[in-house]
Structure 1
Amino acid sequence: MPEQKETLAAFTDHGVPVPANEGRTAAICTNREGETRLVIAARGYAVIVNPQERTSLQVPFPEQHVDYPFASYSSEDGMFYVGAGGMFMVLDPFRGRFTDYARPGLTGEIVGFCFAEDGRGTIYTASYPQCRLMKYEPERKTLTVIGQLDAEEKYPFSLAVDAYGWIYGGIGTERKTIAAVDPVTLQARSLVPDGERRKGQGKVHRGADGRVYGYYDTESGGSEPRWYRLEQGRMSPVTAEQVAKSAYSGTGFETVHRAFPHPWVLLEMSLAEKEVVLLDQSSGQSFPVRLSYETDGADLSPLVAGPDGRIYDTSNHPLQLYRYDPHFGAVENFGGKAIEKGGGGNICAYAVLGGRIAGAAYAGGHVHLIDTTRPIVTDAAAEGRNPQLVTSQEAIYRPRCALAHPDGEHAVFGGYAGYGAIGGGLYIRNVTTGEDELLPNERLVPYHSTVCMVALPGGDLLCGTSVEAPGGGKPKETEGRLYRLDWQAKRVVYSEVPVQGEPEVALMEIDGQGKVHAFTAKHYFVYDPMTRQVIHTENIEEMGGVVRNGLVKDEAGRIYGVRTRSVFRIDTGSFKLVPLHAEPPAITAGLAYVDGRLYFASGKRLWSMAIPGYQR
């Protein structure tokens, strides 16, 4: 158990660096009278844009419900349908209010993952992670669970209904398929042959011609068609030219259902940047509509202390880059355009080499270099953009850790791979020359992902793994491992389980005597790489959960750490965790050190704490 705290220490709240929200889904609604509105749904509310009046209106979710939406739908009569967490909602964008909502009572399910409508105005939707199929009858205002699209897969990406009432779902990610649901029996079956159900996703949509089309990649490398017409539960091959256009445009969180009627055209849309740009074709003029909404800000991600003595960080959904200067107490927000391909992700892990910070971002394993000796340049057309996107690596699609190698030239990144994958890789980049190397999962510990690492004397890496597969895959192992990577040969020397029953070795730091201090969800343990022995283990659940990037060293080599309910120093001689404060704010992301202070995130706010009795 941790010892009593040394002294009380003062915390400082530095405020909300990113007062913005991310638009997660949008639809353009047009009623039978010809009125039209753009609706953007965010965490806890929707914003309605009136193109004629060039105004916006924020409408909170019913019952002050706060959760993330994933998809939305504009019905034939102009209503807006959306789900968030366990709540299904119906918004009348012309009256500016929600007219109905329901909770289907599916524990742990996210409703509204995709939507479709049949010829009678019935709305269909599906949930994650059980692929439950539901129908909503607008006249009766009832939401009913009617089946399941797939018994094993988690992600229902799209829905469509044909003229005969058959319902189709595009499913992923470990074993993709197109599911077909019989309107009489409500039984689902896969239209993709079992041998072709590999990693990926099926896609379906109702075309402008009223017919349903589906797609999946056969991965055969032959001449098999990629597109099919779906009718009465059967697939007929068609060419891409025969596929009628979908009512959806854009990708990811930029997806929009339907288009404006003449004369309006949507050119740009960003809730995070608080602006929509529309084109009036009757005049040929484009104009912005400023979006006004109240927000408590965006959640913050792991922090890093730059070599210039300033704190760098991004927010999470939306991704905006900001910098905090401890000497002036000032936050500088560079917005979402600072990070290429940023969108709805965050920079998850950093390595500092010389005057540069190398960071890896979700979603996509995008690696960025920030030159702290130069100004931040966010204009994509400008010379010398800074930060600079240098690569994207699917093998670390969800980055979790980064390391500056002692050679002073290489940054190493680990994390989870993409959707449907089980096991991530390691990406190594020389930040000076640009030379790089990817070590695929098969060369490391198969079916594991690297989520923490330290450099050992001599340059080899000791890495900790997780067996989780957050992109929809099904874990094949049960316990996280340590493995040693020979830096010169780039091969695994050994791997072993340090703590029985723990699925992840989440954090590690090495002390001046070469002992490695590591943390799992429940335990603190000390590992001796020389003897390959765990020499200390204790349960620390009372200190709270794991905080990403929750360990840091000061200039004297002292190790500090945070968990969700604690701030502590590691006594490396006695293997004691010495609390530095009795009741810190709830800690959600860590950890940076500058001049005797520890900086961390508590939700949407940046905090710091003076280290008690600190001496250089």
Structure 2
Amino acid sequence: MPDFVFQDLGRPLAPKPIAIEFVTQNHAGAALAWGTVESPDRIGVFAIDLEFGEVIWLDVAPYGRSHIRIHKAPNGAVYIYAGNPGRFLKYDIASSELVDLGVPAEDCNYWLGHTIGPDGLFYIGSYPETHLVSVDPKTDEIRGYGKIATDPREKYIVHPVAGNNNIIYCPVGLHHRELWAYDAGNGAKTQILSEQMMEEQGSPRVWMGDDMAVYGSAGECTFRCMPDRIEEMDAPEPAQAVNERRFGNYDVVRLSGEGRLILVDANSGEEEYRETQFQGASVKIYSVSCEHNGKIYGGGFQPANTFEFDVETGVTRDIGMLTTGTIQVYDTLSHEKGLFLSSYMGCNQDFFDPISGDRRHIGMFATTHEQERGQQLAKGPDGMIYAGSVPIKGMLGGSVVRIDPGDFEVSVWRNVVASQSLNSVVSVPETDEMFFTSTVRGGTSALPSEKEACVMLWDVRKEEVSWMGHPVRGTEDYGRAVMGVDGYIYGLSGASYYVFDPTTREVLHTAELPVHTTRWPGMAPHPGGARGLIIGLGDDAVFALDSSDLGCRILARHESVSHAQGMYLTTEGMLYYGSGASMMGVDLSAA
């Protein structure tokens, strides 16, 4: 076996700016601008000295990865909620000491927003068990208040708001809307939305008004929140947030991707810049998807920018955000017309012509068909573009999506595999069919109703399911599938793989993979190299599925594969993949 050389081809996505959350002072009276970083390289909290640009870095990576919330308390300390499970930390600015206050509830690994109660407590609502937790800056006591929602289908608390009577209003979802009023004094809780409002998917929104009352909305309805009910009314706009970013006559608004602090003159609106010792926040590569006119295309994660890598020159370029979904680019498909892109959120589909620069938004299927994720695009035998989809949060039932590249007309067939989502899609030209893989899972937080996933064939002429089967009995999830040079389909199912003949509809072979955990999406979309190997990534290894004997073996190992995501194999056998913020390449043509 030859020695394969792994190359770091650079970081194709530009570092992203970071919002400054507040400004404090240290023991010497110097101003510190605070923010958080969640990047492939590091996760933590920073404070930058506005005069000298020096950086305080608080690393929270040892506690696990999740979002970070920070609060400037009246006692001069900064309180942090971070980690997996979530825990409270306290940073004492005077002593430069970071103190671990502990984990108030175990089942907390994701959260959106926080609120400060009239009692000064720092409250967080979480996923996946709707726990409400807090820390009291006066005593450093942490508390867990238990699960707020009683329906097991509800998983999220989204942006809670504390009322002036110490009632914590917790918007709950996302299977359906609920709004809980939790009395932090006596522990009483009440679901206050009407039954009609609870029929819709999602979660309500709540905010504080200028009158210090809490208001909310659910769909088109607005209301005032009370401890035991809501009162429908025309609600005022949210109160203007207290400006905690003011430093003298300036607002310290953000840190640029290049590491410069940007200050805005509160009187003139003009920007000023301060150099710092901070390195910008890198952007994770989410997908490496296709080759188009001599360039490899892929996309990022938060933000969902698209990048290109010139195969001949080795030059990378961040093109910017071409997708309507702003979080991540799932797939980019090369077509003679240009590039078709699928992104999250909203199961958005977009088109971009790299030559003319023309762009077109094709559709957002979250609003039209309750779909949220389209993970792979493929050209069909009828010239159409196909995708399988995963529904919105809390829901079951994915879709077959078809896009006409000529006029961008869209057709969607919902729930073709009952209560299951569709993952991967492969064209079968010999039979005018598309091969789809499924999972029993639905949108995030949905509870599966089916016990076993399947694969299926979709007749593109009759527009219906023509066959359904179970290559690996008992599996709950079939992942990426690829058409081999022998006309057989090679597919993943957890730590196993199968070989399927789409013309005879027979499973020819099943076996265990030589890796325990594959890296998303599991395998490159097409075979490559002189022997037409199908290449995948798992653990720290590059593995190959070989049509000559239907076997699977490890070709090489490299540390970068441990962090790999997104992969594309050229016809010649050059493998490109993302590893954190870096684009990696390895020539497998001799394999």
Same fold judged by TM-score > 0.5?
yes
- Does residue 455 of structure 2 align to residue 473 of structure 1? no
Q: Specify the alignment match of 2:475 in structure 1.
A: 502
Q: In structure 1, how many angstroms separate the alpha carbons of the residues matched to 2:233 and 2:325?
A: 35
- In the TM superposition, residue 453 of structure 1 has moved relative to its aligned partner by 1.2
> Which residue of 280, 285, 300 maps to 2:285?
300
> Which residue of 571, 582, 601 maps to 2:578?
601
SS state of the match for residue 497, structure 2?
Answer: strand
Q: Specify the alignment match of 1:347 in structure 2.
A: 329
CA contact (8 A) 1:115 1:123 kept: yes
Q: Specify the alignment match of 1:245 in structure 2.
A: 238
- Does residue 525 of structure 2 align to residue 548 of structure 1? no
Q: Specify the alignment match of 2:488 in structure 1.
A: 515
- Does residue 423 of structure 2 align to residue 451 of structure 1? yes
Q: Specify the alignment match of 1:41 in structure 2.
A: 36
CA contact (8 A) 1:302 1:589 kept: yes
Equivalent residue letter for 1:321: T
Q: In structure 1, how many angstroms separate the alpha carbons of the residues matched to 2:94 and 2:358?
A: 45
Q: In structure 2, how many angstroms separate the alpha carbons of the residues matched to 1:273 and 1:418?
A: 36
SS state of the match for residue 506, structure 1?
Answer: coil
Greater displacement, 388-397 / 451-460: 388-397
Equivalent residue letter for 1:610: D
Aligned pairs for 1:353-368 (under 5 A) are 353-354=335-336, 356-368=338-350
SS state of the match for residue 279, structure 2?
Answer: coil
- In the TM superposition, residue 135 of structure 1 has moved relative to its aligned partner by 2.2
Equivalent residue letter for 1:581: A
Aligned pairs for 1:140-159 (under 5 A) are 140-151=139-150, 152=152, 153-159=154-160
Equivalent residue letter for 2:123: Y
CA contact (8 A) 2:488 2:500 kept: yes
SS state of the match for residue 515, structure 2?
Answer: helix
Q: Specify the alignment match of 1:400 in structure 2.
A: 375
Q: Specify the alignment match of 2:567 in structure 1.
A: 591
Q: Specify the alignment match of 2:352 in structure 1.
A: 370
SS state of the match for residue 586, structure 1?
Answer: helix
- In the TM superposition, residue 452 of structure 1 has moved relative to its aligned partner by 0.5
- In the TM superposition, residue 174 of structure 1 has moved relative to its aligned partner by 0.1
Equivalent residue letter for 1:40: G
Q: Specify the alignment match of 1:570 in structure 2.
A: 545
Say if 1:583 and 1:338 are closer, same or farther in 2 by CA, change over 3 A. Answer: closer
TM-score, length of structure 2 as denominator length: 0.85
Greater displacement, 112-121 / 485-494: 112-121
Instruction: Report Cα offsets for 1:72-112 as digits up to 9, x if no partner.
Output: 55667786554223344567798796765433164452265
Q: In structure 2, how many angstroms separate the alpha carbons of the residues matched to 1:79 and 1:543?
A: 44
Greater displacement, 385-394 / 360-369: 385-394
Equivalent residue letter for 1:176: R
Say if 1:404 and 1:56 are closer, same or farther in 2 by CA, change over 3 A. Answer: farther
Instruction: Report Cα offsets for 1:398-423 as digits up to 9, x if no partner.
Output: 22111022344x22222322222222
> Which residue of 552, 555, 559 maps to 1:580?
555
> Which residue of 529, 533, 537 maps to 2:502?
529
Say if 1:216 and 1:72 are closer, same or farther in 2 by CA, change over 3 A. Answer: farther
Q: Specify the alignment match of 1:251 in structure 2.
A: none
> Which residue of 18, 21, 46 maps to 1:27?
21
- In the TM superposition, residue 29 of structure 1 has moved relative to its aligned partner by 5.5
Equivalent residue letter for 1:297: S
Instruction: Report Cα offsets for 1:147-174 as digits up to 9, x if no partner.
Output: 2211322111022222322221011100
Instruction: Report Cα offsets for 1:320-357 as digits up to 9, x if no partner.
Output: 332222322332233xx3434454x2211232212522
Instruction: Report Cα offsets for 1:232-269 as digits up to 9, x if no partner.
Output: 333222213xx351456xxxxxxxx8575699687975
> Which residue of 493, 499, 503 maps to 2:466?
493
SS state of the match for residue 158, structure 1?
Answer: coil
SS state of the match for residue 193, structure 2?
Answer: coil
Aligned pairs for 1:226-265 (under 5 A) are 226-240=221-235, 243-247=236-240
Q: Specify the alignment match of 1:324 in structure 2.
A: 309
- Does residue 168 of structure 2 align to residue 175 of structure 1? no
Q: In structure 2, how many angstroms separate the alpha carbons of the residues matched to 1:391 and 1:290?
A: 42
Q: In structure 2, how many angstroms separate the alpha carbons of the residues matched to 1:45 and 1:348?
A: 26
Q: In structure 2, how many angstroms separate the alpha carbons of the residues matched to 1:195 and 1:14?
A: 55
- In the TM superposition, residue 313 of structure 1 has moved relative to its aligned partner by 1.4
Q: In structure 2, how many angstroms separate the alpha carbons of the residues matched to 1:413 and 1:432?
A: 17
- In the TM superposition, residue 275 of structure 1 has moved relative to its aligned partner by 6.5
- In the TM superposition, residue 568 of structure 1 has moved relative to its aligned partner by 3.1
Instruction: Report Cα offsets for 1:350-388 as digits up to 9, x if no partner.
Output: 32212522121112222233334x2xxxxxxxxx54565
CA contact (8 A) 2:17 2:257 kept: yes
CA contact (8 A) 2:439 2:478 kept: yes
SS state of the match for residue 419, structure 2?
Answer: coil
SS state of the match for residue 332, structure 1?
Answer: strand
Aligned residues: 573
SS state of the match for residue 201, structure 1?
Answer: coil
Say if 1:141 and 1:63 are closer, same or farther in 2 by CA, change over 3 A. Answer: farther
Say if 1:466 and 1:315 are closer, same or farther in 2 by CA, change over 3 A. Answer: same
Q: In structure 2, how many angstroms separate the alpha carbons of the residues matched to 1:133 and 1:62?
A: 21
CA contact (8 A) 2:285 2:566 kept: no
TM-score, length of structure 1 as denominator length: 0.82
Instruction: Report Cα offsets for 1:552-603 as digits up to 9, x if no partner.
Output: 2227782422131332332224211143225574252242223331112233
Say if 1:500 and 1:604 are closer, same or farther in 2 by CA, change over 3 A. Answer: same
Q: In structure 1, how many angstroms separate the alpha carbons of the residues matched to 2:107 and 2:286?
A: 24
Say if 1:64 and 1:79 are closer, same or farther in 2 by CA, change over 3 A. Answer: same
- Does residue 411 of structure 2 align to residue 437 of structure 1? yes
Aligned pairs for 1:53-92 (under 5 A) are 57=55, 59-61=57-59, 67-69=65-67, 71-73=69-71, 81-85=79-83, 86-89=85-88
Say if 1:36 and 1:424 are closer, same or farther in 2 by CA, change over 3 A. Answer: farther
- Does residue 586 of structure 2 align to residue 613 of structure 1? no
Say if 1:76 and 1:234 are closer, same or farther in 2 by CA, change over 3 A. Answer: farther
Q: Specify the alignment match of 1:378 in structure 2.
A: none
- In the TM superposition, residue 276 of structure 1 has moved relative to its aligned partner by 6.7
Say if 1:75 and 1:532 are closer, same or farther in 2 by CA, change over 3 A. Answer: same
Q: In structure 2, how many angstroms separate the alpha carbons of the residues matched to 1:593 and 1:39?
A: 42
Equivalent residue letter for 1:447: S
Q: In structure 2, how many angstroms separate the alpha carbons of the residues matched to 1:275 and 1:423?
A: 46
Greater displacement, 413-422 / 140-149: 413-422
Say if 1:60 and 1:285 are closer, same or farther in 2 by CA, change over 3 A. Answer: same
Instruction: Report Cα offsets for 1:470-527 as digits up to 9, x if no partner.
Output: 4222222232211221112322223233322211110112234432211111211112
Note the aligned Cα RMSD (angstroms).
Answer: 3.5
Q: Which runs of 5 or more residues in structure 2 are unaligned?
A: none
CA contact (8 A) 1:73 1:116 kept: no
Q: Specify the alignment match of 1:13 in structure 2.
A: 8
Greater displacement, 526-535 / 357-366: 526-535
Greater displacement, 271-280 / 602-611: 271-280
Q: In structure 1, how many angstroms separate the alpha carbons of the residues matched to 2:58 and 2:358?
A: 37
Greater displacement, 345-354 / 507-516: 507-516
CA contact (8 A) 1:29 1:78 kept: no
Say if 1:112 and 1:82 are closer, same or farther in 2 by CA, change over 3 A. Answer: farther
Equivalent residue letter for 2:217: Y
CA contact (8 A) 2:31 2:51 kept: no
- Does residue 394 of structure 2 align to residue 420 of structure 1? yes
Q: In structure 2, how many angstroms separate the alpha carbons of the residues matched to 1:78 and 1:154?
A: 34
Q: Which runs of 5 or more residues in structure 1 are unaligned?
A: 1-5, 218-224, 249-256, 375-383
Identity %: 16
Say if 1:314 and 1:165 are closer, same or farther in 2 by CA, change over 3 A. Answer: same
